[in-house]
Amino acid sequence: MTDRILADTSAPRSTASRQAASHGGSDTDEQWWRRAVIYQIYVRSFADGNGDGIGDLAGVRARLQYLVDLGVDAIWFTPWYQSPLADGGYDVADYRAIDPSFGSLDEAEQLISEARNLGIRTIVDIVPNHVSDQHPWFRAALASAPGSPERARFWFRPGLGEDGNEMPNGWVSNFSGPAWTRTQNPDGTPGEWYLHLFSAQQPDLNWSHPDVRAEHEAVLKFWFDRGVAGVRIDSAALLVKDPALPEVPAEPRPGEHPNTDRDELHEIYRRWRAVADSYPDRRILVGEIWLPDIERFTKYLRPDELHTAFNFDFLARPWDAASLRTSIDSTLAAHAPVGAPATWVLSNHDVTRPVTRYGQEDSSFAFATKRAGTPTNVELGRRRARAAALLCAALPGSLYIYQGEELGLDEVQDLPAHQLQDPMYLRSGGADPGRDGCRVPLPWAGRCSPFGFSPAGATGEPWLRQPDRWAELTVEAQQRDSGSMLSLYRRMLGIRRSHADLRDDHLRWLPSADDVLAFARGERFLCVTNLSNTSIELPAGCSLILASVEVTGGLLPPDATAWLHSESNPTQHRTLQFRTQGGE
C-alpha cells in the first residue's frame, strides 16, 4: 500500500486534448451524456459581470476557463429567461428572451458557442408545468371571460359552495398552502379560481390543450437551433392532470395520482424525443422527476423517451452504508432493463448543501423546513462531503455538480430575513427557511464580500449576503491549497475522465465490513468508503490513486473514501478484505 497520491491528472488540458478525450466532450461521441460530468449554474449567484450584485451571463462568460480547469463536460443553466423572478426564474414570462438582469439573447448565443469551443456543452432548463402570471397567455386569460379559449390553456374553475368561496379541490401547493388562487372579475367581484402546484405567480398549464403542446415543442426547437446540447425538464412528472380534478387519495396506486406521474406523460416525452432526435447530432432530455417508486421512475427512461433523469433517492439517504448501498443497487438494477445510465447528484439549488446535511445528526435529506435550528458540525460534514464526492464520482453513470459544491460551501442558515426571496419561505410565513441558503453568491477571491463575485467598483451588494467565513473558501484560496475541496474535485474529475476502468457500466461489490462500501470498476479500479467509526486496513496489493483524506500507514480513517489500483486481477478481488480495525 503506498501512501502517495498518484500523479495529478487534472492539470488544465488544452481544448484539443479535451475534445479528444473519449470520456466526455468529444464532438463525435453521441453517447457523451452517459458518463458526463454536468455542472449546474444558478446564474444569479455564479458571477456578476456588470457590478449590480446579481450574477449574469457576462460573469459566466468570463469564468468559462474555471469550468474547463475543473474538468466538466457540460453546464446546465437554471432558467435564464425573462421572468419576474418570483421563484428564481422558474416563473417564465418569455421562453425566447433572456431576463435583462442576466443579459441578452445575443450573449446567450455567444456563451453557448464559446463554451462549445472550449469543449463544454450547454443544457438549458425548460419549465413546462407552469408559466409566470406575467406570461402573455395568462394575462390574456385573466382579461377574458370564464369559459373563453384563453382560459382553456390553464386550469380555471368556479369555486365550490354557494358563493364560490371554496376552492375547487383540496390540493396543496408544493410550496405549502393551497394550490388555488381566486381571481377578480373586471367589476371587482370575486371570480374563478386557477390552479398552481407551486406559487400563485406560477399558474399551471393545461397539457391537454394543443397550444400548450405545440408551444413547448417550438420552444425546444428554438433552443436546439441555438446550439444547446439538451434540456433539463423542470417538474417533469407533474404536467398532466386528471381533468376531473379529484381529491388526492390517501394512498394513490401507481399512475392514479391526479397530478403526478400520470401515464399520459409518456406520450408527450416520446414526441419531445422525436424532436431531439431530429437533429443530426442528437440532443438530450433530462428529467427532474421526484418519485418514490423507482420502477415508475425508470419508465421515463425507456429508449424512446428521456435520456436520463435526476436520481434524488441517493441524496435523500442518510450517511449510512446499508442505506447508500441499497440506493446504489436499486438505482442500477432499475436502470439496466431500460438501458439508461444512472445519474448521481449530491446537491442542487433546491436542497440543503451536503456539507451541512452530512454535518447533522439526521443526515437524510429533507427540505430545509425539517432542519431549521438543527446543530451542524461543519467540519464533520465537509469531511463526509469529500468522501461522498469520491464515492459518487466512482459510480457508473453521469455526475451532477451544483456550483459551490466543489468549494465545499455550507448552507447559509443566518441570512437576514429581509433578503429571503424563496416562495417556500414566504408562503410558509417563515416556518420553512426555504432554499436561499444554498443559493448564496459564490466566493471567488479576496478576504471580504463580495469575494470577487462582483467586479471592483460594483454598485450593488451581492443579492444574498455572503458569510465572512467564506474568505477561507474562495476559489483563489483553494487553488493555492493542494488539500482543498477544489483541488480534490479537480483531481477527481481528471482521473474520472482518463481512467479506462471508469468507462465500464458495471460495478462489483467486494467483501467488506458492514459499515464499509467497497466495489470494483473495470479490471483494476477499486473504490472504498469507510462509514464506520474505526479505520480500515487497506489490503496489500493495492496502491492509492486518490483519497478524500490523508492516508497514512495503510489505514483509511472513518468518513473517508479512497480510490485504489488493484494489482491483482478481477477474479482475485473477492479475496480482498476491507476490514475495520478490530472488526470482522
Are the C-beta atoms of residues 510 and 519 closer than 8 Å to each other? yes
- Kindly report the number of other CB atoms within 10 A of residue 31's CB atom: 11
If one asks whether residue 198 binds ligand GLC (CB under 6 A), the answer comes out as yes
289 vs 560, beta carbon nearer ligand GLC: 289
* Closest distance to ligand GLC from the beta carbon of 175 (Å): 7
What stretches of 127-229 adopt beta strand conformation (E)? Answer: 156-157, 180-184, 190-195
Q: Residues in contact with ligand GLC, total (CB under 6 A)?
A: 9
Catalytic residues: 234, 288
- Comparing CA positions, the residue from 283, 308, 313, 312 lying closest to residue 298 is 308
SS3 279: coil
If one asks whether residue 77 binds ligand GLC (CB under 6 A), the answer comes out as no
* Closest distance to ligand GLC from the beta carbon of 349 (Å): 6
56 φψ region: left (φ > 0), alpha (ψ -120 to 50), beta (else)? beta
SS3 573: helix
127 vs 473, beta carbon nearer ligand GLC: 127
Separation of alpha carbons 443 and 449, rounded Å:
8
Residue with the three cell numbers 481528471: 494
Task: Pick out residues in 313-372 that bind ligand GLC (CB under 6 A).
Answer: 349-350
If one asks whether residue 155 binds ligand GLC (CB under 6 A), the answer comes out as no
If one asks whether residue 133 binds ligand GLC (CB under 6 A), the answer comes out as no
* Closest distance to ligand GLC from the beta carbon of 420 (Å): 14
* Closest distance to ligand GLC from the beta carbon of 262 (Å): 17
Supply the DSSP string of 312-351, one letter for each residue.
Answer: HHHHTS-S-HHHHHHHHHHHHHHHGGGTPPPEEES--TTS
If one asks whether residue 82 binds ligand GLC (CB under 6 A), the answer comes out as no
If one asks whether residue 127 binds ligand GLC (CB under 6 A), the answer comes out as yes
If one asks whether residue 87 binds ligand GLC (CB under 6 A), the answer comes out as yes
* Closest distance to ligand GLC from the beta carbon of 350 (Å): 5
* Closest distance to ligand GLC from the beta carbon of 90 (Å): 3
- The DSSP H or E segment spanning 273 is helix 265-277
Task: Pick out residues in 249-308 that bind ligand GLC (CB under 6 A).
Answer: 288
Separation of alpha carbons 153 and 208, rounded Å:
8
156 vs 198, beta carbon nearer ligand GLC: 198
Alpha helices (H) in 446-557, listed in sequence order: 475-479, 485-498
What helix, strand, coil percent values describe the chain, rounded to 5? 30, 15, 55
CB crowding 235-273: b at 16 or more within 10 Å, else e: bbbbbbbeeeeeebeeeeeeeebbbbbbeebbebbebbb
50 vs 235, beta carbon nearer ligand GLC: 235
Supply the DSSP string of 290-301, one letter for each residue.
Answer: --S-HHHHHHTT
85 vs 127, beta carbon nearer ligand GLC: 127
Residue from 50, 235, 259, 466 touching ligand GLC (CB under 6 A): that is 235
Supply the DSSP string of 36-80, one letter for each residue.
Answer: -EEEEE-GGGT--SSSSSS--HHHHHHTHHHHHHHT-SEEEEPP-
Residue from 69, 73, 150, 234 touching ligand GLC (CB under 6 A): that is 234
108 vs 289, beta carbon nearer ligand GLC: 289
Q: Which residues contact 67 (CB under 8 A, 6 or more apart)?
A: 39, 75, 115, 118, 120
x-or-dash pattern for ligand GLC, window 383-412, by CB under 6 A? Answer: ------------------------------
* Closest distance to ligand GLC from the beta carbon of 290 (Å): 8
107 vs 411, beta carbon nearer ligand GLC: 411
153 vs 439, beta carbon nearer ligand GLC: 439
* Closest distance to ligand GLC from the beta carbon of 235 (Å): 5
Are the C-beta atoms of residues 555 and 539 closer than 8 Å to each other? no
Q: Hey, what's the cell of 265?
A: 406523460
**Given the rule CB under 6 A, which residues bind ligand GLC?**
87, 90, 127, 198, 234-235, 288, 349-350
